[in-house]
Structure 1
Amino acid sequence: MPEKWTISNIVAVQVGAAPCWQVSLTRPDGSVGNHVMPTSALEWRAAEYGIDPTDVDTLLDILLHEPHMPTTDDPQHGPRYADDGPDLWTADTTTAAREAHAARIKTCPVQINVRAAKPVDVIRAGHRPDPARLRGMREVVDTNRWIKKHGDLPVPPKPTVEDPVPVSNAPAGPRGRN
């Protein structure tokens, strides 16, 4: 039977230069722990798992359960989730990664009811995903997944090197023109 924790408070905090959310979680014995996460974590999970970036409840559900998901140490690849499902980097598709992660939440030994939590209203009201930043995050995730699965990009990116000789100063062509 999973242990049920409740969200008792959420406040905005600054950690260095990063704006963060501090989520206070109350355990059944009455003790309180805090989960601090950058506000950008919501956008990262949306980009990673193909979730609507405005669906704060689903994104927080993932973020608050992740630290409690059972893991195991794989001597060859390092820590991984204890189940046999794919992770973000080994899944064939974003949908497969999202479904495996959702299954982990359902079987997590700690359960946190995000949807019924009134304190989440502060994040619901303040979360404003940036579409351009999300596109960039998705590109990073997709590129890293490809590299992890295949070892390299299919075509190396072209270097962004400026032409050392501007066209106006380039040597003349065969007829004295460029």
Structure 2
Amino acid sequence: MPETWTVETVAEKKIGDTPCWQFRLLRPDGRPHIHTIPMAALDRYAAEYDMNPTDTDSLLEILLHEPHMPMTDEADGTPQRYADPGPTLWEAESTRAAREAHLSRVKTCPVRIDVRGSRAVDTIRATHTPDRERVRTMREEVDTMRWVHQHSDLPIRPAEEILHA
């Protein structure tokens, strides 16, 4: 059974030039845990997983659970990966497959952080305004990067490379 953590407060914080939200979470034993997320991460995750950029609750659930998702323990220097057999964003055959695998990781995470209905998150719900053009551009980048990761190159060279060859 997952351990349930509670969102106690959310505050705006700037780290360098990066605007962030800082979450103060309470563990079941009452100990606090601070988790800081760049505000732009909501748009990024909406793009990566082709999610509604205005669904702040779903996006925050992924962002807050991700650090608690079980990972492999690779002693041989191989990069860590999620412990479940689901595909990563770059391995999945589609954005939909990547989204379903990642949402499954949230559901099976050993830590449960309830965002929906949390009044502490009201500020984010009220102020988050997605940049739809940026989300669209990022979606294209994600699709391109997935293709390159899986096939090592683009199917054809970009037009500017062909014209200047």
Aligned structure 1 segments of 4 or more residues deviating by more than 2 angstroms: 73-77
2:111 is aligned to 110
1:94 is aligned to 95
Partners of 2:20 and 2:11 in 1: how far apart? 8
2:151 is aligned to 150
Deviation at 1:155, TM superposition (A): 1.1
Q: How does 1:37-116 map to 2 (within 5 A)?
A: 37-73=37-73, 75=76, 78-116=79-117
The one-character-per-residue Cα deviations of 1:51-98 (angstroms, maximum 9, x if unpaired) are 000000000000000000001145585111000011111111111111
Partners of 1:116 and 1:9 in 2: how far apart? 13
Partners of 2:16 and 2:77 in 1: how far apart? 35
Q: For residue 112 of structure 1, what is the amino acid of its counterpart? A: I
Deviation at 1:35, TM superposition (A): 0.6
Partners of 1:27 and 1:41 in 2: how far apart? 24
Runs of 5+ in structure 1 lacking a partner? 164-178
> Matched residue of 2:104: which SS?
helix
Partners of 2:38 and 2:108 in 1: how far apart? 25
1:167 is aligned to none
Runs of 5+ in structure 2 lacking a partner? none
> Matched residue of 2:20: which SS?
strand
Q: Comparing 66-75 with 6-15, which one deviates more in the overlay? A: 66-75
1:6 is aligned to 6
- The two structures have a TM-score, normalised by structure 1, of 0.86
Q: For residue 121 of structure 2, what is the amino acid of its counterpart? A: V
- The two structures have a TM-score, normalised by structure 2, of 0.93
The one-character-per-residue Cα deviations of 1:106-143 (angstroms, maximum 9, x if unpaired) are 11000011102111101001100011111111111111
Does the alignment pair 1:138 with 2:139?
Answer: yes
Partners of 1:105 and 1:131 in 2: how far apart? 25
Partners of 1:36 and 1:157 in 2: how far apart? 38
Partners of 2:91 and 2:73 in 1: how far apart? 16
Report the count of equivalent residues: 163
How many percent of aligned residue pairs carry the same amino acid?
55
Partners of 2:160 and 2:21 in 1: how far apart? 38
> Matched residue of 2:35: which SS?
strand
> For the pair shown, which has the larger CA radius of gyration, 1 or 2?
1
Q: For residue 70 of structure 1, what is the amino acid of its counterpart? A: P
Q: Comparing 51-60 with 92-101, which one deviates more in the overlay? A: 92-101
Q: For residue 137 of structure 1, what is the amino acid of its counterpart? A: M
Distance verdict in 2 for CA 1:145–1:76, change over 3 Å: farther
Partners of 1:110 and 1:131 in 2: how far apart? 31
